[in-house]
Amino acid sequence: MNTSTNAAATRTPWNKGILTGQKPPLKLKEIWAIRVRLQLSSQVRDLAMFNLAIDSKLRACDLTKLRVRDVCHGEYVASRATIMQQKTQRPVQFEITEQTRESVAAWISRAGLHASDFLFTSRIRESPHLSTRQYARLVHRWIASIGLDDTAYGTHTMRRTKASLIYRRTKNLRAVQLLLGHTKLESTVRYLGIEVDDALEMAEQTEV
């Protein structure tokens, strides 16, 4: 009993030394910088995953468990998809843009995947699909590849990015709430950090 208690007391927290809290979204130029690097290095799986993460705005637990049939109609990648969120048990729909469809189709073809297969398979034999921890490591690698401090970003960066871009363009909170699958508008406000972002934007506009 004492042994297990001591082990629990001395166990190092998973987030020790890591910046936690709200992760910033990527800017448009940063999205394209990562895409270009993945394309030039022929990282077919990573490009498909990166593009789909941006488009879908899914949490890591949902993105990593996608199956081919979730995003495909027969042999073709769909322009829209709907999945049940693990956290809320509510359906959420997302658009799949043309460039994402092309990259996902290329990955499915390269990997020889079938409808019932997980879209992002794991190279670890014990796991049938990519784990959230493996996905997090990939996100940090993508961020670092363009010279950003990867400790300031995380998997929620991918979820927040397109939602933040849409809000900045439309200022339509209800639309973003729907896209993120939030049940309360207050959650969307906190998630986007709107008050902080708007204050910074106003400050930038008044600089001489």
Higher pLDDT, 166 or 116: 116
Q: Which domains does the chain have, with CATH numbers?
A: 23-200 (1.10.443.10)
User: What is the pTM assigned to this prediction?
Assistant: 0.77
Does the structure show a pLDDT above 50 at 200?
no
**What is the per-residue pLDDT for 46?**
97
Does the structure show a pLDDT above 60 at 8?
no
Q: Which ranges constitute the DSSP H helices of the chain?
A: 2-10, 28-40, 44-56, 60-63, 68-71, 98-111, 132-145, 155-170, 173-180, 185-192, 194-206
